[in-house]
């Protein structure tokens, strides 16, 4: 094979790799039993701080103000894309009015999760889902991260299947749409 052909193949592979890495965020209309436009299945668990947390508690009015949206993000400490997206989720939730968030760890020991949360200084409540019961209920498999946006009425408005470089903008747009649905 000539040098020119090697160069062309290498350039094609580089472009393909760059395109895959820089892929935009992607949403889906259904993930397992969860469908956009339908009520989010209820779930509950204990946070790392030993507080009971449920979808209904996240949706409940706080200080007399209704919840505009809830962001539910599934992650794992071994997941590099998750590690990159968690600070984005925290920042967007903190910046958004009347929006709550919860992070759900997929299938890991709570002690491992606690060390990760402390090291990364995460502030949102974290529910360790050691036996993946919450993940199964919401249709989340091992392909992580997965993020759902739920409106103030409890309906799923967005399911992120892939969180790309534009995730912050896409999440802000999804939250705004959910808030406007109330």
- Domain assignment present for residue 92? The answer is yes
pLDDT at residue 12 is higher than 50: no
Element (H, E) at 159: strand 156-162
Q: Angle CA(36)–CA(41)–CA(45) in degrees, nearest 5?
A: 135
Q: Residue 176: give the domain boundaries.
A: 23-180
How many domains are contained in the chain? 1
- Domain assignment present for residue 12? The answer is no
In this prediction, residue 14 carries a pLDDT of: 38
- Domain assignment present for residue 2? The answer is no
In this prediction, residue 26 carries a pLDDT of: 80
Which residues have CB under 8 Å from 59's CB, separation 6+?
Answer: 67, 70, 150, 152, 153, 154
Burial of 155 (0-12, 13-18, 19+ CB in 10 A): middle
In this prediction, residue 25 carries a pLDDT of: 81
Tokens of 132: 């993946």
Entry pTM: 0.85
Backbone angles phi, psi at 166, to 5 degrees: -95, 15
- Domain assignment present for residue 3? The answer is no
- Domain assignment present for residue 74? The answer is yes
- Domain assignment present for residue 57? The answer is yes
Answer yes or no: are the C-beta atoms of 159 and 25 closer than 8 Å. no
Answer yes or no: are the C-beta atoms of 148 and 156 closer than 8 Å. yes
Element (H, E) at 27: strand 26-28
Minimum mean pLDDT range among 14-28, 38-52, 89-103: 14-28
- Domain assignment present for residue 140? The answer is yes
In this prediction, residue 28 carries a pLDDT of: 77
The CATH number of whichever domain residue 117 belongs to comes to 3.40.30.10
- Domain assignment present for residue 8? The answer is no
Q: Say which residue, 4 or 65, is predicted with more confidence.
A: 65
pLDDT at residue 151 is higher than 90: yes
Q: What is the DSSP string of 87-133?
A: HHHHHHHHHSTTEEEEEEEES--HHHHHHHHHHHT--S-EEEETT-H
């Amino acid at each position: 094979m000539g040098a020119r052909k090697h160069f062309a193949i290498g350039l094609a592979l580089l472009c393909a790799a760059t395109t895959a890495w820089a892929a935009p965020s992607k949403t889906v209309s259904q993930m397992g039993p969860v469908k956009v436009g339908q009520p989010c299945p209820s779930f509950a668990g204990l946070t790392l701080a030993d507080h009971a947390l449920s979808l209904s508690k996240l949706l409940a009015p706080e200080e007399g103000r209704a919840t505009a949206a809830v962001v539910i993000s599934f992650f794992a400490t071994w997941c590099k894309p998750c590690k990159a997206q968690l600070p984005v989720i925290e920042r967007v939730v903190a910046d958004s009015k009347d929006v709550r968030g919860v992070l759900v760890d997929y299938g890991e020991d709570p002690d491992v999760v606690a060390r990760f949360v402390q090291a990364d200084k995460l502030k949102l409540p974290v529910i360790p889902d050691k036996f993946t019961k919450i993940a199964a209920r919401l249709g989340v498999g091992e392909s992580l991260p997965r993020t759902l946006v739920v409106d103030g009425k409890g309906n799923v408005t967005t399911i992120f299947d892939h969180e790309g470089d534009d995730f912050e903008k896409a999440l802000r747009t999804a939250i705004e749409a959910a808030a406007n649905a109330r």
